[in-house]
Amino acid sequence: MSTTEVDYSLILDILEDIFGDYKNHNDYRCQVSFDCPVCSHEIKGLDDGDGKGNLEINYKYGVYKCWVCSETHDTHGSIHKLIKKYGTPRQLKKYLLLKPEDDDTIGKRVYKKVRLPKEYIAFKDVSMGMKLLPTYKQAYNYIKSRNITDEMCAKFNIGYCASGQYENRIIIPSYDKDNDITYFVGRSYLSKTKRKYMNPEAQKEIIIFNENLIDWNKPIYLVEGAFDSIFLDNAIPMLGKFMSQKLFDELYENAKKITIVLDPDAWDDAEKLYHRINCGKLMGKVWIIKLEGNKDIADLKGDLTNYKEKQLD
């Protein structure tokens, strides 16, 4: 590792000089996003950016990638390559003086694939012998207490870890269209825990949770968490109260009908979300359900028959 301190703000300055204002910036992860010049200019013929911010750059690791056109247009690689192509020779020279010394080797680690913890065991694969273990019983009792059935465990490949980094956690994996793992949620099944959720270092902003199970032609439920999504047919969790740009774009292009169901304490967020997505092509296709009291979707076992979906003014 390099021992010299790198002034990342100066690298960010160079990137802003070249690509304009950034869309998102996570300074903890040293990650910043801009409109992709290939998507905007070469593909869409725009003089300015397309407003999507798909070009993600990690200036600590010295790499970049466009989440849309990296495969088709080879839009990924080292920042060196990126600045060489889009910056001036002067900007490139400045960058090479500033950059971390070993960015080429560590760069490969940044966009590594998510893997399930090696201690993960799917409930459907638990042997008779293992069912006698207290750790299994504890995990299984927890999912029963959350109204999760064996069928749901099988459908979503829900499992648990009895040891390791995700010890004492229920794991709900997420898969993409090709059934490759993209993410997982690790929820503690202990009643006393310092950290309720532990999820992998990965960008949940760029995945659709369990995309492999989504039928875009059928009505889609938008919910907060992975634990909500397993109770409804064709539900996408936002993994929080706010929607990522990626999810918005996918819904905008593909959804025929969307119903928002957030937790009862998040009605204001739900209303805001409704108005944000009920626009353009989605106008009139968005519905909303207001849950009463303090019952969430899991408490209701996904039974929304007593709730009427409506559209807002």
- Residues at the contact surface with Zn ion, assessed by CB under 5 A: 36, 38-39, 66, 68-69, 75
CB of 86 to Zn ion, least distance (A): 12
Closer Cβ to Zn ion, 36 or 236, answer by number? 36
Closer Cβ to Zn ion, 75 or 259, answer by number? 75
CB of 247 to Zn ion, least distance (A): 18
Burial tier of 91 (Cβ tally within 10 Å: 0-12, 13-18, 19+): middle
Instruction: Tell me how crowded residue 36 is: count the other CB atoms within 10 A of its CB.
Output: 28
272 — phi, psi (to 5°)? -60, -45
The two three-digit tokens of residue 16, written as one number: 């802003």
Closer Cβ to Zn ion, 69 or 286, answer by number? 69
Closer Cβ to Zn ion, 37 or 173, answer by number? 37
Between the CA of residue 228 and those of 22, 129, 254, what are the distances in Å? Answer: 33, 31, 22
Contact assessment for residue 170 and residue 145, using Cβ atoms and an 8 Å cutoff:
no
CA–CA separation, 127 and 121 (whole Å): 10
CB of 77 to Zn ion, least distance (A): 13
The two three-digit tokens of residue 242, written as one number: 């706010």
Closer Cβ to Zn ion, 32 or 121, answer by number? 32
Task: Give the neighbor-by-neighbor strand order of the sheet with 24-26.
Answer: 24-26, 31-34, 55-58, 63-66, 76-78
Q: Could you write out the DSSP letters of every residue in 262-295? A: --GGGHHHHHHHHHHHSSGGGTT-EEE----TT-
CB of 66 to Zn ion, least distance (A): 3
CB of 48 to Zn ion, least distance (A): 15
CA–CA separation, 32 and 254 (whole Å): 27
Contact assessment for residue 292 and residue 306, using Cβ atoms and an 8 Å cutoff:
no
DSSP state of 48: S
CB of 42 to Zn ion, least distance (A): 8
Closer Cβ to Zn ion, 76 or 187, answer by number? 76
CB of 23 to Zn ion, least distance (A): 13
Closer Cβ to Zn ion, 18 or 36, answer by number? 36
CB of 216 to Zn ion, least distance (A): 22
Closer Cβ to Zn ion, 42 or 102, answer by number? 42
Burial tier of 254 (Cβ tally within 10 Å: 0-12, 13-18, 19+): middle
